Amino acid sequence: MRFRLLLLCLPVLLGACSKTNPGVQLDLIGATGLTSGNRTASPSDTLLTRVYAVGNNDSLRRLRIVVNYEPGLRPIAYPTPLSSFDPAKNAPEAQEIVYLDSLIKPAYKSKPPYPGGEYLFNNSFAARTTSGTERWQYTITDKQGESASRAYRLTVRQSDSAQVYHRFTALLRPVPGNRLRADSLRAVRRVFLNLRTGLLLPKFAVLSRVPLAANQALVDLIALSADGNSVILSSPNDTRVLNLSGARWPDRRTTVLKSTRLSDTDFNNAATGATIAAAFAAGTDFPAVTNTGPLSKNEVIAFQVKGDGTDVFTGLLLVTNIVLGTSPTVACTVKVQKVP
């Protein structure tokens, strides 16, 4: 019933005419609380886009979402003096991420139904944490290869970009492992975190039927909950907790996690790369080494990520809030060294 009511209201809700061809029509629904066109956003803002597509000839087959970040997501280590910074030379190169590339199953609920069916998709995502723009492009393709696309651009301004460390917030929502019939919910929950940039990815962007190796290479930390009574943070190389075959995720990054005695005040006062590095050096390994064990509010975790080659960076993570139950959430603030 809700789906039918939505379809009836679409002429009013649609934000703008789509780029269409005779075979496929695609629109981004415009309404309060939805993002359907160019806009500004705050760092780490949670946004929602609702995609609606119609197949006029043949069945809708594939949805592809691509994001272009300009400049790239990596925090900029500004030179001294700041006036010597040259965006053309020093800013990260533009970065493209295939956020979703999946086969879809259209619905045939209209009276009469469209020949190729209809498709409705909700995309909830977090805006970038560094200053710049991000262009989201949605493309629907039918079985004949005909397609339609829509796109918008977000602009983000990070007020403390000139700091020697990068600070961002993240909200992770793991689905308990013992929750039944929750596969579709697990697919969209954002639990895969990049600790350098704050990029937060859902399962479908990392572990789809055709795994996206480029996205897997971005993951430094994963939020997991076995039963909703606790939440842990795990390094991607934690094979005891992440029960995955090597074929699905062959090359996993290593994130070293350490327990600290720091308070939330100590975290807030950590303002230099040396202070962050010293906190990591003074930390102690967790019993499980590759994961934190059950988290608690105001816990401060030190981490060090070993990326490609000699790329190593260190940071601190403060658990600012944790909610347990059938839909657990973990809110955290991260400070991470900027590496030139």
**pLDDT for residue 220:** 96
Amino acid present at 104: I
Please return the burial class of 307, using the count of CB atoms within 10 Å of its CB with bins 0-12, 13-18 and 19+: middle
pTM of the model: 0.89
Residue 120 to residue 134: CA distance in whole angstroms: 23
Amino acid present at 239: T
The residues spanned by each domain of the chain are: 1-160, 163-340
Sign of the CA dihedral 135, 218, 292, 284? Answer: negative
Q: Does domain 1-160 have CATH number 2.20.130.20?
A: yes
- Contacts of residues 259-265 at CB distance under 8 Å and 24 or more positions apart, as own/partner, are 259/283, 259/284, 259/285, 259/286, 259/292, 259/301, 259/302, 260/284, 260/300, 260/301, 260/302, 260/316, 262/300, 262/316, 263/298, 263/300, 264/298, 264/300, 264/318, 264/320
Amino acid present at 177: G
Q: What is the pLDDT along the chain (340 residues), one digit of tens a residue?
A: 344 444 444 444 444 444 444 699 999 999 999 999 999 999 999 999 999 999 999 999 999 999 999 999 999 888 777 778 888 778 899 999 999 999 999 999 888 889 999 999 999 999 999 999 999 999 999 999 999 999 999 999 998 777 889 999 999 999 988 887 778 888 899 999 999 999 999 999 998 777 689 999 999 999 999 999 999 999 999 977 777 777 888 888 999 999 999 999 999 999 999 999 999 999 999 998 899 999 999 999 999 998 766 789 999 999 999 999 999 999 999 999 997 7
What does the chain come to in residues?
340
Please return the burial class of 96, using the count of CB atoms within 10 Å of its CB with bins 0-12, 13-18 and 19+: middle
Sign of the CA dihedral 271, 272, 273, 279? Answer: negative
**pLDDT for residue 284:** 97
**pLDDT for residue 161:** 76
Sign of the CA dihedral 306, 310, 313, 314? Answer: positive
- Return the structure tokens found at 297: 């509010």
